[in-house]
Amino acid sequence: MANLDNKPVDGGMQVPAKDAGKILKKSGYKIANNEVDAFVSLKDINKIYPNGVQAVYDFNIDISENDFIVLVGPSGCGKSTTLRMIAGLENITSGYLYIDKVLSNYTSSKDRDISMVFQNYALYPQMTVFDNIAFPLRARKFRMPMEATVVKAYNQVIDVLDNRIDEFKEAFANAKDKALNYGTTVEYVATKMKICDEAAKILCKSKAASPENIKNTAKAKIESEINKLSSQGYTMDENYRLLKDGKLQYHYVKMSNEEIRRRVFEAAEILDLGPYLDRRPKELSGGQMQRVALGRAIVRNAKLFLMDEPLSNLDAKLRVQMRSEIVRIHEQIGATTIYVTHDQTEAMTMATKIVVMSKGWVQQIGTPQEIYYNPNNIFVATFIGSPAMNIFDAEYDNGKLIFKNGYEISLSEDYIERHNKYYEAKIQDLRRMLDTDDFKKMHALKVLDKILFNLEAQKDAYALEKAVDDVLGIIEGTECSEVVKNLIAQYKAENNGNPKVDKKWLLKIREPLLTFEKIPSRDIGLLHNAQVFSKEEIVVDDTLYYQKPKKKNNKKNVKSNINLNSTDIEFINNLYEVASNLLAKCEKALAGKHPIRVGVRPEDIVLNSEFTGNKTEKFMVKSNIVELLGSELLIHSEFADANIIAKISTNVLIKPHTDVELAMNQDKILIFDDSCGDRI
């Protein structure tokens, strides 16, 4: 509670070290960073689970007010984790989260002023819809300007008695009408007359029978109250709000029933929930529950809306309907929204900005158009868009794309230049990477592990010793080379220059090599993509990324307290290897012919006869299946060892199992690197 009370202090302030704590405490431990100009800002957010699985890598995004951000990706890509970190339901391992400029890493959920819609709605089953929506309002106190409620009530009473007494009488009479069973009489009168409950209560009690008497008492009451307030140093403005020294005074109070009722009804109005307010969640359909969950989120006017796959439990039709509903509500209330989904259609239709994620990595951030037309890599390209993009394996040979069946496309100069530049940059990058200490260590580690393996296989001892020297050679110049050198020297001395390599010693050498936390996340990301998106994918234990470990691996993965210095850790991949392979491939690519992947969107595969733009050579396919989507036709067929889908307008009717003459829109062809999936 206290946290909402205090204004955050400027984090950039220079303060004496000993006062820092005090100042922080005074501000309720709220620090604002004025350099952050986005409404929500995530800076290098990482999430590593206790079992070493990194769910989110270096998440960076700035979200401005009124944005509708959609985090999209396949399940297990870390999007929900990110959202939950923003919500405060998960701890942030590293990085910083600013909400409204306030550093929010350590504030608890309820103090972040957010509201959230859960995938399974999380409605309180025992409460009616009304109570469910009202719950967040009842659960906390709100900062409100102080009001002279008594004065307000009596003034309204006087006002009604003076001017609107007939209206009151009518309302009062109506309230008695059984057909109009509106809560209590007081509530009805209060709503009808637009006066506060207190005033209505006074009026209803007296039934306005003797207006003069009531007015007199009212006046007396007002007078005494004003006296009391002024003795406490308050003044009152025209809206009965209290001022002290000319400033509005705020206090934290429970919301009045009147206010709660108004807000819930308003929310119900927006969401069309009026007839269901009495029901319990059990009696509602999925869509209605969804709307209630939304209602509970919007009723509080939170600054930030979080939605965690809210539509995934609905059927297709409802989903479409709710989608537009959410968009409408977003437009209506305009709150910043972060929305998580695995459905790219939702992302495309709702978002102002999409974040595509895969396995913990942000693959691309952009508007729907950017993402659709300029995907960063093959993952984004295939993930976004329905039907998915057609991908062909092809060979690149000096500006020509040669498909598996010999079909050729000549690329423009532009493409060729981009291709070369891309690979040059990549090679440079990889070389830099391989030159870092950490990669050297990994290299050494690889060699060392091979020695260990050979030792176990009882290979020639002399060769082994030589190999150890190789290790030393590899790590020459890194910070741990001295350590290793000493270890080797010491060992040699111990064995009087007649060394016999043994395991214990090798493991000792291995230890200093096991430190590479200085690798930038960007590099890991690159190599990660190389492993995941390359065609010769290294078999990586999937359980790493999906947190749904297979049964037999259960124990191993859950184990959270692996001794990090342990020599018993065996690596099933080696980033050095990945990087050097990649480098080799890039160099080869620059040299000449190399495999490449070509992506064409279904709508960019066109009927040769119809399309008049810049198109490739025509080619003949046999239509296997033809799907009619109303205005468009989907033609499934095979081309160049791949299944292709073409989306064609229905002007021409194509029957299944007929030959079709197709071509590609030359301008829309995308080419992707074969080894790491990046778009060239």
Site for another protein in 77-96 (CB under 8 A): 87-89, 91, 93-94
Q: Provide the mask over 173-202, with x wherever binding to another protein is found by CB under 8 A and - wherever it is not.
A: -------xxxx---xx--xx----------
Q: Provide the mask over 571-610, with x wherever binding to another protein is found by CB under 8 A and - wherever it is not.
A: xxxxx-----------------------------------
Residues 6+ apart with CB under 8 A from 339: 68, 69, 70, 71, 306, 307, 310, 326, 346, 350, 351
CA nearest neighbour of 183 among 130, 255, 139, 123: 130
Judged by CB under 8 A, the residue of 247, 496, 568, 631 near another protein is 568
- Does residue 3 touch another protein according to CB under 8 A? no
- Does residue 547 touch another protein according to CB under 8 A? no
Which of the residues 20 through 49 are near another protein (CB under 8 A)?
46, 48
Which of the residues 422 through 451 are near another protein (CB under 8 A)?
442
Judged by CB under 8 A, the residue of 164, 279, 588, 668 near another protein is 279
We find the least distance from the C-beta atom of residue 192 to another protein, in angstroms, to be 5
Judged by CB under 8 A, the residue of 15, 20, 569, 628 near another protein is 569
**Burial of 190 per CB tally in 10 Å (0-12, 13-18, 19+):** buried
Q: How far is CA 87 from CA 4, 295, 300, in A?
A: 16, 18, 15
Judged by CB under 8 A, the residue of 16, 17, 108, 497 near another protein is 108
Helices 185-193, 257-271: axis angle to 10 degrees equals 70
We find the least distance from the C-beta atom of residue 441 to another protein, in angstroms, to be 11
Judged by CB under 8 A, the residue of 556, 593, 622, 657 near another protein is 556
Judged by CB under 8 A, the residue of 13, 139, 425, 584 near another protein is 139
For residues 70 and 309, the answer to whether their CB atoms sit within 8 Å is no
CA nearest neighbour of 565 among 521, 520, 507, 519: 507
Q: How far is CA 414 from CA 395, 420, 430, 637, 678, in A?
A: 18, 10, 24, 30, 17
We find the least distance from the C-beta atom of residue 449 to another protein, in angstroms, to be 11
- Does residue 60 touch another protein according to CB under 8 A? no
Which of 118, 407 has the CB closer to another protein? Answer: 118
Which of 291, 615 has the CB closer to another protein? Answer: 291
**Six-digit token string for 30:** 């709220």
Q: How far is CA 498 from CA 163, 374, 460, 469, 504, in A?
A: 112, 63, 14, 15, 17
Sign of CA dihedral 566, 569, 571, 577: positive
- Does residue 53 touch another protein according to CB under 8 A? yes
- Chain centroid to Cα 368, Å, comes to 15
- Report the distance separating Cα 375 and Cα 358, nearest Å: 13
- Does residue 280 touch another protein according to CB under 8 A? yes
Which of the residues 111 through 130 are near another protein (CB under 8 A)?
114-116, 118-120, 122, 124-130
Please name the helix (run of DSSP H) or strand (run of DSSP E) that holds residue 620, with its range, or none: strand 619-628
Which of 44, 223 has the CB closer to another protein? Answer: 44
- Report the distance separating Cα 77 and Cα 356, nearest Å: 9
Which of 288, 616 has the CB closer to another protein? Answer: 288
Give the dihedral of Cα atoms 323, 326, 328, 332; nearest 10 deg.
Answer: -170
Which of 269, 661 has the CB closer to another protein? Answer: 269
Which of 106, 462 has the CB closer to another protein? Answer: 106
Q: Give the total of residues touching another protein (CB under 8 A).
A: 79
